[in-house]
A and B are shown apart, each in its own frame.
Chain A
Amino acid sequence: MISGETIEQAGYEIMKRAAIDIPGDYLSGIRDAARKEAEPLSGFVLKTMVKNYETATEDRRPMCADTGLPRYYVKVGDEARFSGGFTGIEHALRSATARATRDVPLRPNRVHPLWRTEYNNNVGINAPEIEWSFEPSAGWLDITTVHKGGLFGTDYRMLFPGDGIDGIRRFLLDTLVAFGKRGLCCQPAIVGVGIGGSKDTCMQLGKQAACLRIVGDRNPDPKIAELELELMEAGNGIGMGPMGFVGSSMVVDLHIEVGFTHTGGMPVSVHTFCLSSRRATARILADGRITYRTDPQWFTPYYRRETVDWPMDGLEAVS
């Protein structure tokens, strides 16, 4: 039985780790970009970023003072047993958020959207968000936190099947150029592209693609994997680097996630996970032990399942 205290402790620890330690996959992505960047201004920015991550880890201070909007993704194994029920998990994560806000410290960014009132602890109505998913034949509980920054860099558009891949490419360029000017979205970023679903699932998939997959990860559908690389190249071919300076470092990696959609439409969303790509995951095992990592492993084969039964029933899709 996993206790509420263990969940709170794990939530608190990943809040700290996310705010301070840049994930290794993203750091090597930035180092790579710095090596390839030929433009002096853009190169200077990238080198400064690397120095900043090192300083954060050495001094144990947040890498960016805008500690974003902390949120959680929880994956519950079918066999996991925990005291206090699901609302107990929610309570533990709200408590962890408030504690970490005071101790790290994180900036209390969350305010009421109309009255601008707050409790100075990043907790409020519908905040922090907690998204749930489930995993068959597992006894653990995975908790991931993402501190997603940015007022900028996210957009949605209803495209149509006739717009094709070119339409997606064009919309991606629109979003990256618009928010890349002056570096408003704090590129180079991990870019997430959601395709399909309804508007809300489209947004959700794109955001999860940006925040919950690591640099170098490819979609298991080989044609989508190819499109990921093609669109990443298009982003880096804009001629824009960090801060909107001339350069070639815009996209550190690009991830696509899809959901079945209305037969008449092809909604697309684009999300950029900024220079402070903060994520950390805890796995709580059935005996209460906790292990930590930076790869959320959110997109499991089960999560991307296509047909009614699991394991998949071998039905072939028709067109």
Chain B
Amino acid sequence: MLEEHHVDLPADPESVSRLKPGSVVYLNGIVYTARERVYDFILNRGGELPAGLADVSNVNFHCSPAAAARDDGSFHIGGVTATASFRFSRYMADWLDRSGARILIGKGGMPADDYRNILAPRGTVYLTTVGYGTGALLGRGVRGVETVYWLREFGIAQAMWLFRVRDFGPFLVDSDLEGNSLFAEQGELVNRNLDRIYRGLRKPTLLRYGETDDRTDELI
């Protein structure tokens, strides 16, 4: 059985420090979405974060919801799924300083170096969605839209959505405050097997330019 945590938001430092790689997490409170358009606007174009954001929520979800506006101006949130986080790596140090986010949620984690050098020193952990395609389960956990910023400017996918959530999850802890990473750990275990599965298979007749045979490499 995997260990299970229920965390109230904004998350306090003690509950963040209890999250260890491989445990299951559910969240209660408010989470917000922010990805490249928001990062770029705040960090490179002089944009201002909504005042007091960190007091409302310190959880940044890498997500674009399947949302549609109703005629009365409210929103219908269908499914909610994370997007791959590694693409946002270069924004993270400044973003965490500005936003005060202590929990990042996304798909697939970030490079282990980022955990050691950027997230852990700032008291931030990374949670990954499970299986990734769990949009319906996560959608059920979203009880409503608190507010949305920059919808007209950035569109549905890139706007900053503040969701009121209840039993929002499950998520799996990838990185903890020591900078350990579940993905890195599991990846190493998988890598140990690779020599065996490739044994006896010849190199292709025609190589690709720059091709390497190091299968411990990752694409991110």
A residues lining the B interface (CB < 8 Å): 40-41, 44-46, 48-49, 51-53, 55-56, 59, 61-67, 102-109, 118, 120, 149, 151, 157-160, 162-163, 166-167, 169-171, 173, 177-179, 181-184, 186, 234, 237-240, 242-246, 274-276
Cα distance A245–B189 in the bound complex, in angstroms: 9
Interface centre among B131, B194, B201 (most CB of A within 10 A): B131
> Which of B42-50, B60-68, B95-103 has 4 or more CB atoms under 8 Å from chain A?
B60-68
Find A186's partner among B1, B131, B172, B215 (CB 8 Å cutoff): B131
Determine the interface band of chain B, counting residues with CB < 8 A from chain A. Answer: 35 or more
Contact A67 B186 (CB under 8 A): no
Contact A108 B156 (CB under 8 A): yes
Given contacts A108-B156, A162-B205, whether A52 and B133 have CB atoms under 8 Å apart is: yes
Cα distance A275–B130 in the bound complex, in angstroms: 11
Cα distance A168–B2 in the bound complex, in angstroms: 38
Contact B134 A181 (CB under 8 A): no
B residues near A41, Cβ cutoff 8 Å? 2, 22, 172, 186
Find B219's partner among A118, A162, A181, A238 (CB 8 Å cutoff): A181
Contact B220 A67 (CB under 8 A): no
Measured CB to CB, the closest approach of chain B to A252, in angstroms, equals 13
Measured CB to CB, the closest approach of chain B to A111, in angstroms, equals 9
Measured CB to CB, the closest approach of chain B to A58, in angstroms, equals 8
Contact A65 B65 (CB under 8 A): yes
Contact B202 A61 (CB under 8 A): no
Find B81's partner among A64, A151, A234 (CB 8 Å cutoff): A64
B residues near A109, Cβ cutoff 8 Å? 157
Find A65's partner among B63, B128, B170, B183 (CB 8 Å cutoff): B63
Measured CB to CB, the closest approach of chain A to B217, in angstroms, equals 8
> 1/0 per position for B62-84, CB-CB distance to A under 8 A?
01111110000000101111011
B residues near A55, Cβ cutoff 8 Å? 136-137, 139-140
Measured CB to CB, the closest approach of chain A to B137, in angstroms, equals 5
Cα distance A59–B202 in the bound complex, in angstroms: 50
Find A157's partner among B201, B204, B215 (CB 8 Å cutoff): B204
Q: Which residue of A lies closest to B200 (CB)?
A: A166
Find B190's partner among A63, A163, A238 (CB 8 Å cutoff): A238
Measured CB to CB, the closest approach of chain B to A104, in angstroms, equals 6
B residues near A244, Cβ cutoff 8 Å? 183, 186-187, 190
Find A238's partner among B68, B140, B197 (CB 8 Å cutoff): B197
Sample of 17 further A-B pairs with CB below 8 A, known A48-B130, A182-B187: A44-B2, A45-B130, A48-B137, A49-B133, A61-B78, A61-B136, A67-B66, A105-B76, A107-B65, A109-B157, A149-B133, A157-B208, A173-B197, A183-B131, A184-B108, A238-B193, A243-B172
Cα distance A151–B83 in the bound complex, in angstroms: 11
Given contacts A120-B155, A120-B156, A244-B183, whether A62 and B78 have CB atoms under 8 Å apart is: yes
Measured CB to CB, the closest approach of chain A to B73, in angstroms, equals 15
Contact A234 B197 (CB under 8 A): yes
Cα distance A237–B140 in the bound complex, in angstroms: 35
Contact A105 B133 (CB under 8 A): no
Contact B68 A105 (CB under 8 A): yes
Measured CB to CB, the closest approach of chain A to B156, in angstroms, equals 6
Query: Is B135 in the interface zone, CB < 8 Å from A?
Result: yes
Q: Which residue of B lies closest to A101 (CB)?
A: B68
> 1/0 per position for B183-220, CB-CB distance to A under 8 A?
10011011001100110111011101000000100111
> 1/0 per position for B109-142, CB-CB distance to A under 8 A?
1000000000000000000101111111111100
A residues near B34, Cβ cutoff 8 Å? none
Measured CB to CB, the closest approach of chain B to A138, in angstroms, equals 35
